[in-house]
Structures are given as structure tokens and as C-alpha cells.
Amino acid sequence: MQLDMHFYGTYALARAAGIPQKDAYTIAYAAQYVDDSTKQDSKQHEDGGILYGIATSHEGGQYILKHPKDVHGAREEQRRVWVPFHFLPGAQGKDFEEQLLCKKNSKPAQNMMRNHLALAQQKTYGLELLGIAAHVYMDTFSHSGFSGVGSSLNKVIEGSIKPLDVKDPKMADYVLTKLGRFVKRFKIGSVISFFAEESTSSLGHGAVATFPDRPYLKWCFEYEYPHESSESNLPIEAEQIETRDNKINFFEGCELLYSYFRQHAEDVYDSPEFIPFEDIADDIKAIIAVEEDCDGRVDEWRALKWNNTPIIEPKVRYNKSDWENQKFDFEDKEEAKDNISTNVYRFHQAAAYHRYYVLKDLLPAYGIAVY
């Protein structure tokens, strides 16, 4: 998913669920900042205090492109970044590789949401943690069927990726052009993946480019190594064409994320004012179905209204530099401890907790030792 869903969609759902504007903004900003916190850097105060930044994403697989021979480092990054923050394992299947495949609304995803909702009431970084959880949870609906480590199960037959049912011819051309550029830029050896670990495996949904992130898109593809599927009667050896309707998956994610936000609102705030989901469900379906680029889809979310009142207040905008710039103020505070209450410090507290929880607590409970 992209900015339209991770920030603006998340904000709209949080506000509709009864979460006050300031808190909804923090949650939504953290949800999008997961994609924008790309630097593993530190800031040190003269009194010795340190803000240790955690990379929760990387821009276009830059680590791999800059260090193509560092296979060990690539595997480290996959397991510390892609697995806990973008491809939460579904813990299904007969072996390790299959268990690492992300699955929408999986049991681990549900357990993560329950855990983080409870912790959100106890920790000063609770809202930032809830935003990270929202990002990870929603990604299970778009990244389902792919994993966050180099795996043959992520590989897709070149030429099998096709958009279906795109009504606007210009948008169809746009999607195919973007796919072609993606393939041309990031094809490494025989693997189409900007997360390529080696010439024999691929990571994440790199093999299908940004098709999973376009909410309006219905599309199909064929895995190079077909997955076991409870929804298919075909044997594993048979040719299997996977069809994905992002509109259905995105809407399902929105409805469930709203329910988690409603729970948080009821647990934390006194008599929260909320909008019943059914009152805005058709409007959300319409937003998701709009065939636009990310900026156009953002405009659709910003235009969402209930009783003629915008759900997203006009002044609410996402600027990825806002929290990043707080890092540069770290050294200027009178004392390092004065930074602990900043959003960026709390985000990295939340990110550190979330990474540890997923890798050392949640996944081991399902018998998965990924890191």
C-alpha cells in the first residue's frame, strides 16, 4: 500500500472510529512513516544521550543495489526490516518458507493487533505503536502470498503479470508502462525483483512490481513455483493462475482496521463520537475503485465526507520531513532527555519494541525462528 492508504485512509478510519484529531494524526503519521524511516542513524547530544534511529524500510531496495555482493547483510536486512514491518508471516504451511508467506488477516496479525492495542493504553509511545501496527496489518491484505525473505516462492513467471478490468485506457497504459520501467530498472540476472538477494531467489512482491499496492487494480499472475492453496482443487504441480482483486482486499482491510480503532476509542476516550462504518462503507468502496495515481487517490480520501462534513480536516497533510527533522533538533535541546517526548523518539521506541515482539515473541510462539 502507499501514501493514500497508509496515511490518509488510516487517518479517515481513525477519525470515523472516534479517535480525536491529534491522536488520529499521530497514528496515521506513524503508519506512513514506516515506509519513510529509511535511515539506520543516530544523533548524539553533548551530554552523552543518543537517539538511535531504526530503519523500518529502505528506498527501492537501495541496500541491495549499493551492496550487491553482501548476501549476509541482505539477509539481515530482510529479517530485521521486511519481515516484521512489511511481510508479517502468516504461519501457515508445511515448511519454513511457506510459513513465512504473508497472509491477509492471519492469526499472527490478529494477535499483533490485540497485543499492540493493549500496550497502546500503557506506553507513552502507544499511538506511534498503534500506527506501526496499522501499517503492518494493512500490508497483510496487499502483500498476501509473498514473504519478506529471499525465497523461490516469491518468484513469478515473467510475462504472466497482467492487469484486468482497468476501465480507463490511459490508466491501463500507465500501469503497464510503470511495470515495464520497473522490470527494466530492477531486473537482476534472471530475477525480476528490486529486493533480489541472489540470482536464484527473490523477495517480497518485487516480482509483481507495484500491482499489489494499487487499490483499484484487478490483476493476475503465475507463480514460478505454485503455492499450496486451500482455495484451489488443482494439484501443486498444475499450472495455476492467481487472480487478485485489490478492491476487495483493501476494503476488507479498511473495515477490520476500523473495528480495531473503534476498540481503542472505546477503551481510551470518554463517550467517543464515531461514524458507523456502514454509513461510509459505500464511499470507501468508491474511493478504492478510483483509477488514479497516488496523488489522485489522496484527493479522493481528502474529499470523503459524512453529513457534509469532511472526515479529513483540510489542514491535515502528510509531510515526511516533519518527524525526520525532529532528529536534527536532538542536539539543540538543553538535555537529551528533553527529546524523549518527541514523536520521532517515540516512533523509534515503538519500532524497536515492535521488531523485538514480532521476531522474538510472536513468531516463535508459532514455531518460527526467523531472527
User: What would the pLDDT profile of 126-142 be if each residue is shown by its tens digit?
Assistant: 999 999 999 999 999 99
> Helices 107-120 and 126-142 meet at what angle, rounded to 10?
160
pLDDT at 196: 39
* Closest by CA position to 323, among listed 296, 298, 302, 351: 351
Averaged pLDDT of the chain: 87
**297 confidence band (pLDDT: 50, 70, 90):** very high
Per residue in 143-190, pLDDT (tens digit) is 999 999 988 898 888 888 889 889 888 888 888 887 877 766 655 433
Listed residue (222, 112, 213, 95) closest to 151, CA to CA: 95
Q: What CA–CA distance (Å, rounded) separates 356 from 364? A: 11
The tens digit of pLDDT for each residue in 307-359 reads 999 999 999 999 999 998 888 777 777 788 888 899 999 999 999 999 999 99
Q: What is the C-alpha separation between 89 and 70, in angstroms, rounded?
A: 24
Does position 233 have pLDDT exceeding 50, yes or no? no
Mean pLDDT calculated for residue range 15-21: 98
- Do 141 and 90 form a contact (C-beta atoms < 8 A)? no
Distance CA(30)–CA(295), nearest Å, equals: 19
DSSP-assigned beta bridge partners for residue 305: 310
Q: What percent of the chain has pLDDT over 90?
A: 62
Tell me if 359 sits within 8 A of 371, measured CB to CB. Answer: yes
Give me the pLDDT at residue 239, please.
58
Instruction: Give per-residue pLDDT as tens, 267-281.
Output: 999 999 999 999 999
- Give dist(CA 148, CA 205) in Å, integer: 9
The residue that leads in pLDDT, 194 or 354, is: 354
**322/328 Cα distance (integer angstroms):** 11
Residue 51 has pLDDT above 70, yes or no: yes
pLDDT at 110 over 60: yes
Q: In the predicted model, is pLDDT for residue 98 greater than 80?
A: yes
Give start and end residues of each alpha helix (H) in the chain: 3, 10-16, 21-36, 62-66, 71-77, 83-85, 96-99, 107-120, 126-142, 169-186, 246-268, 277-289, 294-302, 321-328, 343-357
Residue 100's identity, in one-letter code, is L
Residue 336, C-alpha cell as written in the block: 537529551
User: How far, in Å, are 223, 263, 302 from residue 277 at the CA level?
Assistant: 36, 13, 17
Helix (H, G, I), strand (E, B) or coil at 269: coil
Tell me how far apart the alpha carbons of residues 199 and 71 are, in angstroms, rounded to a whole number.
11
Q: State how beta strands 242-245 and 305-306 pair.
A: unpaired
Question: Do 131 and 26 contact (CB within 8 A), yes or no?
Answer: yes
